[in-house]
Structure 1
Amino acid sequence: MNITANEVKTKGVSVFDTMFEKFNEVLINVRGKNKYCVIPFEEYEEYRAYQLDKAHKEVMQDLKEGKYHTSVGQHIDSIKLAIKND
């Protein structure tokens, strides 16, 4: 469901309670464009846990494949190379 930023300003955050009775998320439209998405905090916590779990799995895979540096010098060199190739 979409609402405008002005509606949030005039009605306050209580408008979200009403919206969440019918919808899982509320998109806030600013000057004709969707800019923010509001979700219940419990859903945010689940989503954040998913993100952290995914990041952990990626790091563990990198460690398994030896995709890491053992010194600051190696890390800086890889950054310089990435910048050069970009």
Structure 2
Amino acid sequence: MSISAGELKKKGVSIIQTKLDKMNEETITVKGKDAFVVMNMEHYNYLRECELEIALQQAKKEYEQGHFVKESVETHLQRIANEL
């Protein structure tokens, strides 16, 4: 179930709270199309932790495969400047 923009305009934040008491997240629709997702902070923080864990695993995998550069700070800064 989603919240329409019109419903949100009429009922305000209380409609979000009512929906989030039952679910971790809720979709807000605009003109009948999904436009936004709202969620409680606990669920948001959980998802951020999941993203960070995946990023850490990817970085470890790349390191183990030798996909890294070992260089001085000066060389690193110059390489970044050249890539811009």
Q: TM-score scaled to structure 2, two decimals?
A: 0.74
Alignment partners' CA distance in 2, 1:10 and 1:16: 12
For structure 2, list consecutive stretches of 5 or more residues without a partner in the other structure.
Answer: 71-75
Match of 1:14 in 2: 14
Query: Which residue of structure 1 lines up, in the alignment, with residue 66 of structure 2?
Result: 66
SS of the aligned residue for 1:45 comes to helix
Query: With structure 1 as the length reference, what TM-score do the two structures score?
Result: 0.73
Say what the alpha-carbon RMSD is for the aligned residues.
1.9
What residue identity is the alignment partner of 2:44?
A: Y
Give ranges in structure 1 of 5+ residues lacking alignment.
77-86
Of all paired residues, the percent bearing the same amino acid is: 32
Number of residue pairs aligned between Structure 1 and Structure 2: 75
> What is the CA–CA distance in structure 2 between the aligned matches of 1:68 and 1:10, rounded to whole Å?
54
Q: Secondary structure at the match of 2:27?
A: strand
